[in-house]
Amino acid sequence: MKKYILLLLLVAGSVLNAQTVNNFKAVIVPLKFDFLKSENAYRLNTISKFNTKKAGFEAFYANQSIPKEMNNRCDLLYLNVEKESGFLVTKLFVTFKDCNGNVVFQSEVGRSKEKDFETAYMEALNEAFQSVYALHYKYEGPAANVTSNDVDQNQTYSNNQTVYAPSTKINVQEAEETKATTITATEGLLYAQPIANGYQLIDATPKVVMRVTKTSNPSTYIAVKGDTQGVLVSKNGSWYFEYYKDQNLISEKVEVKF
């Protein structure tokens, strides 16, 4: 009987001491995910940081300077995106780990059947983040009796355990990612993905909004948006979708990143 009581106390203690995402001040986003070959490939790191902030967290890249009050690495979560194998289906999920590498939260698996890698990764990742949004994150302070390993508390590190000392210097890659994050948050911005003889313009969902075909003039494209056909033209550094409706020429400004 004493053994059973001891076991129950141990289980109860582990439950009481269990950490949730609400026990952490911010999230560290790595510059590269293990299943990809380069930093910010397909903009997945930028998208991850944007979605993490959209879910209510403070988020920083692994080489980015962070506020002094967050220098204790065990006050932080470490984000990772992982890929599951799947036949003709792209599967991604998001994990948040603590400073000891314990998984605090794992998202549902996001899926996409798109053939284009960039579109598929973006669609699967955005779907995986839906369960992160559902957490309704709100910082509540650290969990009781949770301690870290004997590691310098004034350092931050990424998911692959590489240690990064806080620095005020942001390299070119980080600056580009920060700029891209700002662009992602811009309402109505479209991204140009190359296709045969032109581009498809997609939003952040991602959804194909318009398809454009090259002409002999690099500032003019034949454009199709839904059932409407017209042209996409560049004027004074901005792009416009122009078409006729009821004998009237309509000109709509389009924010697009080629």
Asked if pLDDT for residue 5 goes beyond 80, the answer is no
Determine the average pLDDT of the residues in 165-174: 36
Give the model's confidence band at 30: pLDDT under 50 very low, under 70 low, under 90 confident, else very high. very high
The CA distance from 175 to 177, in Å, is 5
| Residue 205, pLDDT score | 74
Q: Which has more pLDDT, 160 or 130?
A: 130
Digit-coded pLDDT (tens) for 88-146: 899 999 999 999 999 999 999 999 999 888 889 999 999 999 999 999 999 998 876 55
Which three-class secondary structure state does DSSP give residue 37?
Answer: coil
| Residue 109, pLDDT score | 95
What percent of the chain has a predicted confidence (pLDDT) above 90? Answer: 45
What percent of the chain has a predicted confidence (pLDDT) above 70? Answer: 76
| Residue 22, pLDDT score | 94
Q: How distant is the alpha carbon of residue 105 from its chain centre? A: 16
Q: Which has more pLDDT, 119 or 155?
A: 119
Asked if pLDDT for residue 204 goes beyond 80, the answer is no
Give the model's confidence band at 161: pLDDT under 50 very low, under 70 low, under 90 confident, else very high. very low
Determine the average pLDDT of the residues in 175-187: 37
Which three-class secondary structure state does DSSP give residue 221?
Answer: strand
| Residue 179, pLDDT score | 39
Radius of gyration for the chain, computed over Cα atoms and rounded to the nearest angstrom: 23
| Residue 83, pLDDT score | 95
| Residue 195, pLDDT score | 84
Asked if pLDDT for residue 181 goes beyond 70, the answer is no
Q: What is the mean pLDDT of the chain?
A: 78
The CA distance from 45 to 26, in Å, is 16
| Residue 71, pLDDT score | 82
Determine the average pLDDT of the residues in 145-172: 39
Decide if 120 contacts 114 (C-beta within 8 A). yes
pLDDT-wise least confident of 38-52, 75-89, 166-180, 222-236: 166-180
Digit-coded pLDDT (tens) for 43-65: 899 999 999 999 999 999 998 88
| Residue 18, pLDDT score | 67
Decide if 77 contacts 28 (C-beta within 8 A). yes
Question: Model's pTM, two decimal places?
Answer: 0.55
Decide if 215 contacts 222 (C-beta within 8 A). yes
